[in-house]
Structure 1
């Protein structure tokens, strides 16, 4: 592929850091190499000398002095070298990308930082970006800063609808703006906030449309390892025969949100631009976080990691089941929902309430219940929204029952209030 048309003016103007580029000589340094290049602080004065972490099973994970030294120091912009190698092995094993030899991987400060860099790399003001009408709120916040045009596409129980996507793209081409079509953002597994997951046929159809209209697919998949019942269908990365997929993964939902470790995989030419962005903004991600993740993955091995993920499935499946039970007991007749196959969210529609925003923001706390109004997830936030998002990941069974009971009372009060306003406007 020719990627030149996808690179924004801001990204093309960004120059690599000469000092950071020199750091590539440290990847496999000669024992006799004398390094007088970068402004690294002397490791002799790092006050931290030892780190031991106790795992859930009681085992103590010791960070070796060598790894600890690397974790406390500046590191390569693409990431801690042992972790990058581990993640490449994992990605190849899980997704078998058709163009693996032409791909690269970059560790990011959570997957969200990777998404922000990708949006800024791809989009000039006025370029088109495809999103679902119901989209992750922080992505909408990020996109606001690069002032694109939205193609907001309808979704159903399997996510973004291909027929609606094709119709919208045809309209853009008809209006003479095909050159402004750039990117398609999609969450294929347990989409935030709707909880929907795409089947394989739908993924293949969307990929074919992206080929036809020459779009870069941004595959945001933080819930890949939180699919309860079965392995997800092939990822967009695994279908990518052209080199048009940037895939974003994260350890935030499965190991630690606070460590802020994510990674992006995709065409080497696009990863090069993201790497330049990394080295000229934050220099590198937090090395100590990456060392911890790397050491943990090494300790577990492939089989240990799989076992850990299976335990996660059971834990969150049980949480989901309690949330559904609580909804059935307290919200039947008041709300509508689908049962998510993974993830941590329940997306609730309140058919008898025109917009949930005031109900939740102004009166929810008084009823001791806090959910996110659906309006915050809409590409067009000016329209009323009957939806709201409940996160069931941290609540106990008792809290879910109590919370949905309180929510039911709040909804009934809101319906009564609306009816009163209709009768006496």
Structure 2
């Protein structure tokens, strides 16, 4: 491994790049200004460094004789090459066979850089520049075992135990376990039809108790939010960024698609010319494969370094083989080919959404309402028009008795408060038989509950 292969990894002999603040001005770890940190790193991330064997690896290079790494000898690996039989991209084209061999295969079979293989990180950096118009600068890309892995490590990098964090609600429930382990104070910021409410965000922060630590981080899924289906307009994002500037917030932007822009990552330089206030997460699960377990984070280098330190200690690195397979596919498609595929995936789910919604309207008209999602694969069905206030009881009792299941809204609120909503997915369900029958059963369950409540 040469120094260029893992520039985010430091060693006992080189100064850590994360000692610099977001704007590139060198500042000491753990410095406090006016009672607050001078950057977004947690105490642990600011004081923990990659050391031992991995800390020395960046020093390896031409002219250096190294006795450091206990890498297995590739002569023992039983793989000479791997042939990838690729489907045509959804946007059209031909089947292709691609060989994974030579130096890339050797790298895929070996221990790799904690931040990810340099080939795929370079490709993804070019993608982010192309899609979001961000010239190379004080941001970078790191790989993870899906965006879930990266988000968990990012929370550890920016939150101390017990810290407050602003949460768009309803929120993707997959982020809650890590935050509970950190004993984070999760502050709910309810969405409206355009997603995260800048007005509500401002109201919470303006009235924050003076004797309590102020939140510095906000988590949001701004397009096709899981579960609400809401999406923020460009102006809404600019309004949120203005609040972020006023209160010096870091946005953790969880994204589901490459199809809808501008993103917070693109827009942040209109409010923060120096950048450094948006940490973005992308996943290949919906676009290439869920089982390949690959995602990538894009954002401030010092925060990514904190993530990489966590990776080095937890699992050394993300599967190099998965990275190499994805890279060969992406290299074959090119950026435009990949974006075309992403658009076609979005169109695929949009067609399913339309059929699914038609079935929902047929059976739930007058009983429920929802925002039609422009991305994602869920409907967030509000049953309050039918007088339902607690969907958990409805699903656990009446709906289950009818033979239909959905996710109660309670699961998507950090407080576990009762909710009249249920989340239903249209990604894999049979649209001709299961969807209509499922909504018919759900409607019957609602009527049963209404009779129990004396509403019918």
Q: How many angstroms apart in 2 are the aligned matches of 1:211 and 1:97?
A: 19
For 2:308, the equivalent position in structure 1 comes to 275
Change (3 A) 1:337 1:68: same
Task: Name the structure with the higher helix share.
Answer: 1
* Aligned counterparts, 1:234-383, within 5 A: 234-240=263-269, 241=272, 242-351=275-384, 352-381=387-416, 383=417
For 1:53, the equivalent position in structure 2 comes to 84
* Larger deviation, residues 301-310 vs 249-258: 301-310
Q: How many angstroms apart in 1 are the aligned matches of 2:154 and 2:64?
A: 36
Offset of 1:192 from its aligned partner? Answer: 0.7
* Larger deviation, residues 298-307 vs 45-54: 45-54
* Larger deviation, residues 7-16 vs 145-154: 7-16
Note the residue ranges of structure 1 that are not aligned, 5 or more in a row: none
* Larger deviation, residues 160-169 vs 146-155: 146-155
For 1:214, the equivalent position in structure 2 comes to 248
Q: How many angstroms apart in 2 are the aligned matches of 1:8 and 1:257?
A: 30
For 1:72, the equivalent position in structure 2 comes to 109
SS of residue paired to 2:165: strand
Offset of 1:392 from its aligned partner? Answer: 0.6
* Aligned counterparts, 1:118-267, within 5 A: 118-172=154-208, 174-177=209-212, 179-221=213-255, 223-225=256-258, 227=259, 231-240=260-269, 241=272, 242-267=275-300
Q: How many angstroms apart in 2 are the aligned matches of 1:121 and 1:237?
A: 23
Change (3 A) 1:38 1:237: farther
SS of residue paired to 1:147: coil
Q: How many angstroms apart in 1 are the aligned matches of 2:218 and 2:332?
A: 37
SS of residue paired to 2:422: strand
Change (3 A) 1:415 1:92: same
Note the residue ranges of structure 2 that are not aligned, 5 or more in a row: 1-19, 23-29, 31-36, 89-94
Determine if contact 2:398/2:449 at 8 Å carries over to the other structure. no
Number of matched pairs: 409
Determine if contact 1:23/1:76 at 8 Å carries over to the other structure. no
Aligned match for 1:397, one of 411, 431, 439? 431
CA shift digits 1:53-76 (9 cap, x unpaired): 222234223222432222121100
Determine if contact 1:97/1:239 at 8 Å carries over to the other structure. no
Aligned match for 2:71, one of 40, 56, 67? 40
SS of residue paired to 2:347: helix
Determine if contact 1:187/1:219 at 8 Å carries over to the other structure. yes
Offset of 1:157 from its aligned partner? Answer: 0.4
For 2:147, the equivalent position in structure 1 comes to 111
Q: How many angstroms apart in 2 are the aligned matches of 1:23 and 1:293?
A: 25
Change (3 A) 1:403 1:300: same
Offset of 1:205 from its aligned partner? Answer: 1.1
Determine if contact 2:257/2:342 at 8 Å carries over to the other structure. no
* Larger deviation, residues 235-244 vs 144-153: 235-244
Determine if contact 1:71/1:287 at 8 Å carries over to the other structure. yes
Aligned match for 2:121, one of 84, 99, 113? 84
Q: How many angstroms apart in 2 are the aligned matches of 1:190 and 1:170?
A: 28
Q: TM-score, normalised by structure 2?
A: 0.85
* Larger deviation, residues 315-324 vs 147-156: 147-156
SS of residue paired to 1:255: coil
CA shift digits 1:278-317 (9 cap, x unpaired): 1111110111110011000011112321221232122111
SS of residue paired to 1:337: coil
Offset of 1:33 from its aligned partner? Answer: 5.9
Offset of 1:176 from its aligned partner? Answer: 3.3
- Across the aligned residues of Structure 1 and Structure 2, the Cα RMSD in angstroms comes to 2.1
Determine if contact 1:8/1:121 at 8 Å carries over to the other structure. yes
Offset of 1:237 from its aligned partner? Answer: 4.3
Determine if contact 1:79/1:107 at 8 Å carries over to the other structure. yes
Determine if contact 1:40/1:74 at 8 Å carries over to the other structure. yes
CA shift digits 1:122-157 (9 cap, x unpaired): 112332211123111111222111112222112100
Q: How many angstroms apart in 1 are the aligned matches of 2:42 and 2:343?
A: 41
Q: How many angstroms apart in 1 are the aligned matches of 2:449 and 2:81?
A: 56
CA shift digits 1:51-100 (9 cap, x unpaired): 222222342232224322221211001101100100010011111236x3
